[in-house]
Amino acid sequence: MSESYNFNKILKNLNILYIEDEKNIRLNIKKTLELFCENVFDAENILNAKEILTKQRIDIIISDINLPDMSGIDFVKEIRIRDKTIPIILLSAYTEKEFLLEATKLKLVDYLTKPINFKDLNNALQKCVEEIL
């Protein structure tokens, strides 16, 4: 049995929370995530994300940095206060140094720039599974 098969099998049963305020991007990425994982919960803002977190077991968080009610970085800082281990991937259209420097302090699995390509997303999700194991 190959290692990637095991990763894919494990990933299939995990719960992903995906936060993105732009509806078209959110729907497209959610469809892509559903190729990897059966349970993808999507939120258009941090308020919705927090609601989902109280009701569902979430194994992986994928969040945009630029959100209307709070930055993804501030949200991750809040998460890290109560959960130091949950794998988190941040997405951004920005590659500015201050975002990257801030992000490095948050124990992220990955920081992907938009538009996201399938291979980078797949690699990031594989790293998340490794973190969980």
d(CA 21, CA 23): 6
Mean pLDDT within 49-66: 96
Does the pLDDT value for residue 1 go beyond 70? no
Q: Is the full-model pTM beyond 0.85?
A: yes
Q: For a pLDDT cut of 70, what percent of the chain falls above it?
A: 94
Q: For a pLDDT cut of 90, what percent of the chain falls above it?
A: 77
Does the pLDDT value for residue 2 go beyond 60? no
H or E segment at 89?
strand 88-92
As a whole number, the mean pLDDT across the chain is 91
Mean pLDDT within 58-80: 94
How many C-beta neighbours within 10 Å does residue 24 have? 8
Mean pLDDT within 25-40: 95
Who wins on pLDDT, 78 or 94?
78
Phi, psi of 17, rounded to the nearest 5 degrees:
-105, 125
Helices (H), the chain: 3-12, 23-36, 46-55, 72-82, 97-104, 118-132
Does the pLDDT value for residue 103 go beyond 80? no
